[in-house]
Structure 1
């Protein structure tokens, strides 16, 4: 990334998507949706890799270029910055179950970059952010609905 890119950098997030070993598919619908987000200018992929954690907890990290048949994801390979360090990989793999495979995606939220840039120019700095897991939102809504149904 150039100095200009860094001065207008939007928020950067990561995702770790886990699959049972042998059931991962990074070239189907997931790849299509990821490419749609990139093509629409919603996100910019900064780094992507595949993590494998065997039953003994041993971790293998594979960069996208070395992950075999990339299908449509081959379009992203030239854009990747390989940002994640070995310590990052270990920390991400700690969240994985033994005997699983995970796709790791580090991406810039391009849609938020103009706001982030304006905040920096105004002298502001991001001091906290977070994400509420979708599963938690669904569980909360279902619990509220159950209370309404039972009249409690």
Structure 2
């Protein structure tokens, strides 16, 4: 059984999410929930960008000192930047956004999985496929099961 080199860094899966919000409905509830995940060690935050797309399609990267970011509650994360995201990532994110919205582009490590990743590697295993199943698909499948009971 191959052993993992103790000097080799174990990196858990790294994901990104683009969360879109209606500018008029920002409550600030998402930021404390994100902070809770970070503080409990569930995730490690690499990057957080707040993006704004006006009705005319004009795009801005919102500075955390702006009132809009304060309203969204993400000012706690000012300076969360690893350099992973580049201009092409920002362009793709803003292309996906609906005009008149604000979005949080977040890159994070699933630190909860690090121990499992280390065990898989120590056992000679490697990830050969991965996909995210949309929550709505799971809910629909569970609802269909409930209807057959």
Q: TM-score range by the shorter chain?
A: 0.7 to 0.9
Q: Which runs of 5+ in 2 are unaligned?
A: 1-5
TM-score, structure 2 as length reference: 0.76
Secondary structure at the counterpart of residue 94 of structure 1: helix
Deviation digits for residues 101-151 of structure 1, max 9, x if unmatched? 1112111111111222343455544332111111221122223434x27xx
Which residue pairs with 1:94 in the alignment? 95
- Residues 8-17 or 136-145, more deviating: 136-145
**Contact 2:26–2:71 (Cα < 8 Å) also in 1:** no
2:16 corresponding residue in structure 1: 14
Deviates most, 10-19 or 51-60: 51-60
Distance in 2 of aligned mates of 1:117 and 1:6: 10
| 1:48/1:82 contact within 8 Å kept | no
**Greater alpha carbon shift after TM alignment, 6-15 vs 64-73:** 64-73
Mind listing any 5+ residue stretches in structure 1 that lack a counterpart? none
Describe how 1:99-114 pairs up with structure 2 within 5 A. 99-114=100-115
Give the Cα–Cα distance (whole angstroms) in 2 for the partners of residues 130 and 65 of structure 1: 36
Q: Which residue of 2 aligns with 1:85?
A: 86
Q: What does residue 58 of structure 2 align with? A: 58
Change (3 A) 1:141 1:34: same
- Which of 99-108 and 62-71 deviates more? 62-71
4+ residue segments displaced more than 6 Å? none
Q: How far, CA to CA, are the matches of 1:52 and 1:84 in structure 2? A: 16
1:22 partner SS: helix
Q: 1:49 to 1:6 in 2, by over 3 A?
A: farther
Most deviating of 98-107 and 41-50: 98-107
